[in-house]
Structure 1
Amino acid sequence: MYLSKSDFKLARSCPTKLYYHKLGYPSVQAGSEFLELLAEGGYIVEAIAKLRFPDGVRVQAEADPEAANAETLALLNRTDSITLFEATLLCDRVVARADILVKRGRRIDLIKVKARSFDPTEYQKRIAEGKSSLFSLAAWRDTLEDVAFQAHLLRSHFPDFEIRAFLMLPDKTKPSAIDQLHRQFQVRRIPVDAGFSQIQVEFLGDEAALSAASFLTQKIDITAEVEATLPTVRAGIQQYTALLWPSLQRAEPALSISCRDCEYWVEDEAPLNGFRHCWGDLADVSPHLLDLYRVGSLGDRANELIQHGKVSLYDVTPDLLVKKDGSMSAYTDRQLRQLHHTREDTEWVSAELADILDSFDYPLHFIDMETCAPAIPCYSGMRPYETIAFQWSCHTLTAPNAEPQHECWLCTEDEFPNFAFAESLMQHLGSTGTPFMWSKHENTVLREVLEQMTRRSYDNPALRDWLGHTVKLNGVDRGRLVDLCQLTEKHYLHPQMRGSTSIKVVVEAIWRTNPVLRDRFPEYVRYDETGRLLSPYKALPTQSIHGAAIAVTEGPSAVRAYRAMVHHTEGPCDPATRDQWKDLLLQYCQLDTAAMVMIWWHWAGLLRGKARRG
């Protein structure tokens, strides 16, 4: 029962979670494809950083913290000059693994490698303006506490040494000169012991070329920031270790609106549900206070209700939505409508929505894009975390009563796709009609493609002109793209949306209550074993790949499928397997744009009914 860095980070968000983690309660983050993608990028960034230290020695006994700590101390005490990788530091059952330790005499440099985007120009600008360090900002708290946690253990073993702390980060201003860099790394998970595996990253390319084209920062000194953070970290260690020894204890939960984001809030059928364990009978209240739209805007007023056991949505009275100065937030109107229409179990459409929908020129294009932003620049000229746009889908309505026409584009080759992506979309959409998106992602992607054209000197005047007229470039320029999510927030509410405007939530709400949509899209009609109607996303077919049933129902799984198809990250990819990944991507992205058509038709039906009644 050790307290690790990850344990500390978890407990900092909520000490009660430490109990659930140690007892293996199910978490929505377990098996998260998004987190796995981030982790893989982190391992590769770390491997690149370690190539700068060719004399580095890796600590081998990783599975056993005590053995690894003993090996680490033996190596550090053996000589005045050594560089260690994966050094394990253990003291009083508090354990951490350091990416890189460099010992020179009686000084030890602790180097944390983190796959987090960093802009050195912003950093230098703050320094020049005499502002506090970028790393002292709240956004860097977790990183500083991570390093301070390691520094605390290092000082426990070497109290008389000078300990300096550094970061190495991907520099998002540095383009890579290496093409298909991702293919030069082999990431393997090697089982070492029961419940433990070791991640090994092997670089197969030219180390000199990688060093010359490195996109990582040099060491950034954060010693002062870590020193300032150490008292907080030491107090946290003392608090959390008391929950582990002499026996595991559950910290008394502090119920608040923050609990709505708890990773231990899992499906009700799960035998161990951390959220339910904390909230008890209050978890069963429906509709729930935590379902309120933008509940965080209530702050302490909502937390006071929770402390008094008032967690029904109907415990939120209109006066609580008014600020202390008598003003209302930007969310108050929608919150009031949610309270009313949830109580009445009715939908709401604004008086303006009909005219707004009528103002859009046909053809109507409903578009969705799939993208990724890897820490490792995959292609020459790319920067860390630069967008790769690998797929688009579009459903088009040429007239109010027309059947939707579907077109799509998918990159199936291992090459920089963005300009071909944008050119194909331009050819399909043209300059007439109205293109719709859900939220701002599509606008952001096309705006970045326009910026990439300048950075890469890509010559296509027609594409540049089209992008310039299509995307919203600043707060004044409206562009052509219309945000359906924004229209939903301002003009539509369904009681089953529970305060969310996610397209998946909106579609599921109308799917369950509008049989006309099910008649028009029968391919998405499926029921579970209890006879309950599934949402269209849960109705998407799976593919059996390498013996596993694979589904693509969200963005991270789409990125996984794309990488498996193009980069072969999931193993051998023969033509048949390649087609399976391709089919998964096509059907998922197609549903995203079909979902927008469903919402449009649902609104049109509501407005026709409203006109007849009015």
Structure 2
Amino acid sequence: MSRFLTKSRFKQALECPNKLFYTKKEEYANSKLEDPFLEALAQGGFQVEELARLHYPDGILIENNDWKYELLAAQTEELLRQENVVIFEAAFKFEALFIRTDILVKRGNEIELIEVKAKSFDPEDENLLVGKRGGLNGSWKLYLFDVAFQKYVIQKCHPEWKIKSYLMLADKSKESPIEGLNQLFRISKTAENRTGITKKMNSLDEIGGSVLGKINIDKILDEIEAGKHLCYENLNLEQSIKIFSEHYAADKLFNSPVSYSNCKGCEFQATEEELAAGKKSGFRECWSSQMGWTEKEFANPVIWEIWKLHYLKGPKLFKDGKYFFQDLNEDDIGVRPEAGKLSPSERQWIQVEKTRTGDSEPHILKEELRQEMSNWKYPLNFIDFETSATALPFNRGRRPYEQVAFQFSHHTVDEAGNVKHESEYIDFEPGNFPNFQFVRELKKALEKNNGSIFKYAAHENTILNVIFQQLKESNEPDKEELQEFIKSISHSTGNGPEEWCGERDMIDLCEVVKHYYYDPHMGGSNSIKAVLPAVLNSSKHLQQKYSMPLQEIDLSSMNFDSGHVWLQIENGKVLSPYKMLPPLFADWTEEQLDATVSGMQDIADGGAALTAYGKLQYTDMPEEERLAIKQSLLKYCELDTLAMVMIWEYFREVVSL
């Protein structure tokens, strides 16, 4: 069977040409799984594509026969015999290259090539695609080369054509003309495991307009074709296409040199569990062949495992041949102490030293932590939000990618240490815009006491700032009251005209961790999913307490029965409570979802919850399945705030020693 270089493979090769050899091979571990159904759920990209097609009501869709490249190209050429035609998913094959276009508009020999993306743009942003210094902006580079690749193949098939190229994106300056715009396109999985789309309208006239806009990118593509913007190393577009195609067609490893930036985030790294299960590691194969690494080297911690290693510092150390923790000294890290807390560079050096000496004891600034905790006021409140940002808005007047807060969990702890799952909220009804009711319920929950409020990382504060602005532009009768509440528990982010810092401004427990605590079990991560197992492994008290059923430790829960046990210990190590939860999607772990979704707009973490919410919003399913997903979301969010409580319990324990 012929192996064609498609546009998705071309983009993958631009990240690292070696990936062409490992991709689509079951024997290799891959943290970024390709499942069009779940990707569509998470991104909402299918909605943008369907809305884009409504801009061209006469368009003809070429569908099915996905892997029959000859047939698809022949069907396209048959349609192109017409003088004027619009084709969705037009297919072009040239030698060992194959592409499909989102929208192709033909008017004689005048062609519009339109690439549709579930990304947003501000039409006032003059430096959206090209930076002030003339280079392509990193977040758009792959998309631009993608369109350049498509144009190259089309031009080879039809050199007589004059092609104009566009990106069609969500325009942040446009408001939705109707309620429930993103509910007009529904998604389902067919019996053949294909993604099916149901439209609830047939024209833009029915909805009064669109929130999409087009950007002409001809000038940028001309520069790419001329070699101003090189594709790979010192190769221009045509050279890159040729060499990628040859290697992929021959199923031959490119043997691209290992590098800090490429290898750090390689999806073909296998975990110890995957290796034990017989999976291969593309990452290991590259480093074994190029650097001669053996099991000994692979067992050594490498520099990209260091927390927050600067994007300039890491590549420089790599270039100097300093790959391992054991190669580093304090000057390499540039250790700069800060009074009263751990500086970022101190944390990095502590991680390096403890890892290479095998010191598993945590590093804690006890006195400083004790002083910090003495400022906290009981009862303590721990909150966690789950949010989504969709390309197509929920409501009339809303813009693309406005944040939607659909869920929170709230635990309290009194001065005696009694823990209570105090309240929770979730709105999973399709088409609802929950933000204002979300704040009303949060206000009701947090105004029951005057205690300190805790978040984990900046997300909750950011979301409240967004909702503050949404309220300002709304006609809600209680908007001023809700805005005052938001100001009382948050601080302004500087993105609006008003500045504030509330009397109960949320305390960031993640910052507390960064400033006063490091445990080698955390590795290079300060995420709550790394910190929680670390504190549980350090504390015999927490191990004993949470190894008992909820009813025996007098711990209330809104989503788990009284016999639920949070901790299990295997081979002397505590299993993370997150591992005790059933996956939201049977075939994907939370880590895989996060890895796949992390490349999306404004998403850093939380891929599982976001994708589950997408499924609730855009998928027609039995009510029992909807309720099961809702219950899973409630369990996940409850654990997030209970995890914060457990971290607090550990800190209270260590400062009292």
Where on the TM-score scale, by shorter chain, does this alignment land: which range?
A: 0.7 to 0.9
Task: Tell me, in whole angstroms, the C-alpha distance in 2 between the residues paired with 1:276 and 1:283.
Answer: 10
Task: Tell me, in whole angstroms, the C-alpha distance in 1 between the residues paired with 2:55 and 2:324.
Answer: 57
Kindly provide the CA deviation profile for residues 40-69 of structure 1, in whole angstroms up to 9, marking residues without a partner as x. Answer: 521221111111111112224543112211
Equivalent residue letter for 1:559: L
Bigger shift: residues 50-59 or 513-522: 513-522
Is 1:256 aligned with 2:240? no
Partner of 2:230: none
Partner of 1:580: 628
Partner of 1:370: 386
Partner of 2:153: 153
Kindly provide the CA deviation profile for residues 585-609 of structure 1, in whole angstroms up to 9, marking residues without a partner as x. Answer: 1211111011111111111212222
| Cα 1:126/1:256, change in 2 over 3 Å | closer
Partner of 1:284: 298
Contact 1:365 1:395 in 2 (8 A): yes
Task: Tell me, in whole angstroms, the C-alpha distance in 2 between the residues paired with 1:31 and 1:516.
Answer: 43
Partner of 2:552: none
Deviation (angstroms), 1:531: 8.1
Contact 2:382 2:410 in 1 (8 A): yes
Is 1:418 aligned with 2:435? yes
Deviation (angstroms), 1:15: 1.2
Task: Tell me, in whole angstroms, the C-alpha distance in 2 between the residues paired with 1:369 and 1:112.
Answer: 34
Kindly provide the CA deviation profile for residues 189-239 of structure 1, in whole angstroms up to 9, marking residues without a partner as x. Answer: 5577xxxx754433122524455231111x321111111123433232122
Residue aligned with 1:205, SS: coil
Residue aligned with 2:92, SS: strand
Partner of 1:348: 363
Task: Tell me, in whole angstroms, the C-alpha distance in 2 between the residues paired with 1:275 and 1:101.
Answer: 38
1:470 to 463, 477, 489: 489
Task: Tell me, in whole angstroms, the C-alpha distance in 2 between the residues paired with 1:289 and 1:55.
Answer: 55
Equivalent residue letter for 2:457: S
Task: Tell me, in whole angstroms, the C-alpha distance in 2 between the residues paired with 1:16 and 1:578.
Answer: 41
Deviation (angstroms), 1:355: 0.5
Equivalent residue letter for 2:654: L
| Cα 1:491/1:532, change in 2 over 3 Å | closer
2:328 to 313, 316, 335: 316
When the two chains are superposed, the root-mean-square deviation of aligned CA atoms in Å is 3.0
Residue aligned with 1:426, SS: helix
Residue aligned with 2:384, SS: strand
* Aligned 1:425-436 pairs, distance under 5 A: 425-430=442-447, 432-436=450-454
Task: Tell me, in whole angstroms, the C-alpha distance in 2 between the residues paired with 1:75 and 1:135.
Answer: 38
Is 1:224 aligned with 2:209? no
Task: Tell me, in whole angstroms, the C-alpha distance in 2 between the residues paired with 1:122 and 1:353.
Answer: 44
Kindly provide the CA deviation profile for residues 376-414 of structure 1, in whole angstroms up to 9, marking residues without a partner as x. Answer: 212333221111111111111221533344321122433
Equivalent residue letter for 2:270: V
Residue aligned with 1:116, SS: strand
Deviation (angstroms), 1:532: 5.7
Kindly provide the CA deviation profile for residues 328-386 of structure 1, in whole angstroms up to 9, marking residues without a partner as x. Answer: x9732221222233333221122422101111222211110111111121233322111
| Cα 1:570/1:292, change in 2 over 3 Å | farther
Task: Tell me, in whole angstroms, the C-alpha distance in 2 between the residues paired with 1:209 and 1:454.
Answer: 30
TM-score after normalising by structure 1: 0.87
Partner of 2:17: 15
Equivalent residue letter for 1:5: K
Contact 2:186 2:199 in 1 (8 A): yes
Deviation (angstroms), 1:182: 3.4
Which one has more relative contact order, counting CA pairs under 8 Å at least 6 apart? 2
Is 1:595 aligned with 2:643? yes
Task: Tell me, in whole angstroms, the C-alpha distance in 2 between the residues paired with 1:433 and 1:47.
Answer: 48
Deviation (angstroms), 1:501: 0.5
Partner of 1:534: 575
Residue aligned with 1:524, SS: coil
Task: Tell me, in whole angstroms, the C-alpha distance in 1 between the residues paired with 2:588 and 2:303.
Answer: 35
Partner of 2:247: 243
Partner of 2:465: 447
- In structure 1, the gaps of 5 or more residues are 324-328, 610-614
| Cα 1:434/1:64, change in 2 over 3 Å | same
Deviation (angstroms), 1:26: 2.7
Contact 1:257 1:295 in 2 (8 A): no
Bigger shift: residues 404-413 or 431-440: 404-413
Task: Tell me, in whole angstroms, the C-alpha distance in 2 between the residues paired with 1:100 and 1:503.
Answer: 43
Partner of 1:214: 210
Bigger shift: residues 198-207 or 346-355: 198-207
1:293 to 304, 307, 312: 307
| Cα 1:403/1:187, change in 2 over 3 Å | closer
Task: Tell me, in whole angstroms, the C-alpha distance in 2 between the residues paired with 1:314 and 1:32.
Answer: 40
Partner of 2:62: 59
Deviation (angstroms), 1:93: 0.9
Partner of 1:204: 200
Kindly provide the CA deviation profile for residues 545-603 of structure 1, in whole angstroms up to 9, marking residues without a partner as x. Answer: 9xx699879733223433445x37262114xx444223211211111011111111111
Task: Tell me, in whole angstroms, the C-alpha distance in 1 between the residues paired with 2:486 and 2:42.
Answer: 34
Contact 2:306 2:348 in 1 (8 A): yes
Contact 2:178 2:207 in 1 (8 A): no
Task: Tell me, in whole angstroms, the C-alpha distance in 1 between the residues paired with 2:545 and 2:362.
Answer: 21
Contact 2:454 2:508 in 1 (8 A): yes
Contact 1:368 1:393 in 2 (8 A): yes
| Cα 1:551/1:334, change in 2 over 3 Å | closer
Kindly provide the CA deviation profile for residues 260-313 of structure 1, in whole angstroms up to 9, marking residues without a partner as x. Answer: 2111123223321222222342663244433212234423332135x4xx5432
Task: Give the paired residue count.
Answer: 585
Partner of 1:337: 350
Task: Tell me, in whole angstroms, the C-alpha distance in 2 between the residues paired with 1:400 and 1:53.
Answer: 65
Task: Tell me, in whole angstroms, the C-alpha distance in 2 between the residues paired with 1:346 and 1:46.
Answer: 52
- In structure 2, the gaps of 5 or more residues are 228-235, 289-293, 336-341, 548-564, 595-605
Task: Tell me, in whole angstroms, the C-alpha distance in 1 between the residues paired with 2:133 and 2:323.
Answer: 41
Bigger shift: residues 454-463 or 177-186: 177-186
Equivalent residue letter for 2:575: L
TM-score after normalising by structure 2: 0.82
Contact 1:108 1:162 in 2 (8 A): yes
Is 1:516 aligned with 2:529? no
Task: Tell me, in whole angstroms, the C-alpha distance in 2 between the residues paired with 1:550 and 1:303.
Answer: 33
Partner of 2:114: 111
* Aligned 1:69-148 pairs, distance under 5 A: 69-76=73-80, 78-123=81-126, 136-148=136-148
**Identical columns (%):** 32
Residue aligned with 1:121, SS: coil
| Cα 1:517/1:279, change in 2 over 3 Å | farther
* Aligned 1:547-586 pairs, distance under 5 A: 555-565=606-616, 567=617, 569=619, 571-574=621-624, 577-586=625-634
Task: Tell me, in whole angstroms, the C-alpha distance in 1 between the residues paired with 2:590 and 2:634.
Answer: 10
Equivalent residue letter for 2:241: I
Task: Tell me, in whole angstroms, the C-alpha distance in 1 between the residues paired with 2:140 and 2:41.
Answer: 17
Equivalent residue letter for 2:576: S
| Cα 1:534/1:18, change in 2 over 3 Å | same
Deviation (angstroms), 1:248: 2.4
Is 1:489 aligned with 2:514? yes
Deviation (angstroms), 1:179: 2.2
1:275 to 258, 268, 283: 283
Partner of 1:326: none
Equivalent residue letter for 1:513: S
Task: Tell me, in whole angstroms, the C-alpha distance in 2 between the residues paired with 1:243 and 1:349.
Answer: 52
| Cα 1:589/1:359, change in 2 over 3 Å | same
Task: Tell me, in whole angstroms, the C-alpha distance in 2 between the residues paired with 1:564 and 1:126.
Answer: 31
